[in-house]
A = this chain, B = another copy of it.
Amino acid sequence: MQSYLIRKDILNIEAYKPGKPIEEVERELGLKGVVKLASNENPLGPSPKAIKAIQKNLKSLNRYPEGTCSYLKGKLAKALGVKKENLIFGNGSDELIDIILKTIKNPGAEIVTSDTTFVEYKICGEIMGFTVKCVPLRDFTFDLDAIKAAITKNTKVIFIANPNNPTGTYVNAQKVTGFLNDIPKDILVVFDEAYIEFVTEDDFPNLIPLINKKNIAILRTFSKIYGLAGLRIGYMIAQEKFIEYAQRVRQPFNVNSLAQAAAGAALDDKSFVKKTRSCVAKEKKFLYTTFLKFGIWFKKSAANFIFVRMNADTQKVFRKLLEKGVIIREMSQYGLNNYARITVGTRKENLKLIKALEEL
């Protein structure tokens, strides 16, 4: 295989760097009981109702999944107050980013997003041959004015993570409404709301009523509050017409059977969602207090992770914490060498982090 067969866009792409898995760290460093606060996962495990639903469906794994996620779609549509035709499911939200970009026409097309946000918008965009413009954040928050200013006649898609990953900040309802009124109607604005279930702030936008009025798409996931990151299932809410086109580029069996069953059951698991939400809220406050005590700067977060500035090179801090059995996410891939993203864990996990930080 010579590189002349390879698409030029691909030759320059760097692959996504995931957080280190617990097993890998334990194996590499000969440690036990390693704590992972690196991937914004649910610290309480998966939804117990989801686990039960999986067990019920194991016998028929020889069968292909139901391709349209029909049962789950009906249930979710009801819960959200939208039509089934407004929904499409993906192998995680990652796949939905790819589906969106495959759907949108692309010769010369541009994407606008931020330079410090979920990197898959940029990576998927480049893979699909888009020009990706990344504008700086303002006070670690999506700068909608800067995004507006970056729009050209070639801009087809804008990605806004709200709350933003990795900074935990959000753009409020008023700003979003103004932004949507100001920009050209033919641009699709994708709001990635992976962490919306953790948000408690009153001025956070409720975009679902805008679905049929504006050219927007909302991404959500079962990976976070429902604790199903390992199963891969996310969804998009958008106009019927756009969903119809997106369905054409979706692979026929993109969402596995167990993910469908688990997600359906997790939606009913109100007590697990409540427990997770209150655990994260309480532990976030506990970490804020501790960081203040330690003189660690942080940004207040609307999500289940905290963006912090260390008084040292975080690549070094990252490595030292790793040796003590705590995995966090350092931010050097964004050029932010003094910053890290720390997922809110259980009290036990957070205490292990704090102890490790104290020892440094």
Name the residue on B nearest A71 (C-beta). Answer: B23
| A150 part of interface (Cβ distance < 8 Å) | no
B-side contacts of A61, CB under 8 Å: 45-46, 50-51, 227-231, 262
| A174 part of interface (Cβ distance < 8 Å) | no
Determine if B248 and A13 form an interchain contact, defined as CB atoms under 8 angstroms apart. yes
Cα distance, A204 to B201, chains bound together (Å): 64
Kindly identify, within residues 80 to 105 of chain A, every residue whose CB is under 8 Å from any CB belonging to chain B. Answer: 91-92, 94-95, 98, 102-105
Question: Known contacts A5-B156, A256-B231; is A64 also within 8 Å of B94 by CB?
Answer: no
**In which size bucket is the chain A interface?**
35 or more
Determine if B62 and A251 form an interchain contact, defined as CB atoms under 8 angstroms apart. no
Determine if B247 and A231 form an interchain contact, defined as CB atoms under 8 angstroms apart. no
Q: Could you pull out 16 A-B pairs where Cβ atoms are within 8 angstroms?
A: A1-B239, A5-B156, A5-B215, A7-B106, A10-B102, A15-B248, A19-B64, A44-B62, A45-B62, A46-B62, A50-B61, A62-B228, A63-B230, A94-B252, A120-B251, A127-B248
Determine if B104 and A127 form an interchain contact, defined as CB atoms under 8 angstroms apart. no
Question: Known contacts A41-B64, A248-B15; is A253 also within 8 Å of B227 by CB?
Answer: no
Cα distance, A105 to B3, chains bound together (Å): 10
Cα distance, A50 to B241, chains bound together (Å): 40
| A114 part of interface (Cβ distance < 8 Å) | no
Determine if A54 and B64 form an interchain contact, defined as CB atoms under 8 angstroms apart. no
Determine if B186 and A229 form an interchain contact, defined as CB atoms under 8 angstroms apart. no
Whole-angstrom distance between the Cβ of A328 and the nearest chain B Cβ: 15
B-side contacts of A39, CB under 8 Å: 63-64
Determine if A253 and B241 form an interchain contact, defined as CB atoms under 8 angstroms apart. no
B-side contacts of A18, CB under 8 Å: 64, 67, 252-253
Determine if A232 and B65 form an interchain contact, defined as CB atoms under 8 angstroms apart. yes
Given A1-B215, A15-B247, A232-B253, 11 more A-B residue pairs with CB atoms under 8 Å apart are: A5-B104, A5-B186, A7-B106, A8-B105, A15-B252, A21-B64, A42-B62, A65-B232, A91-B254, A127-B249, A230-B256
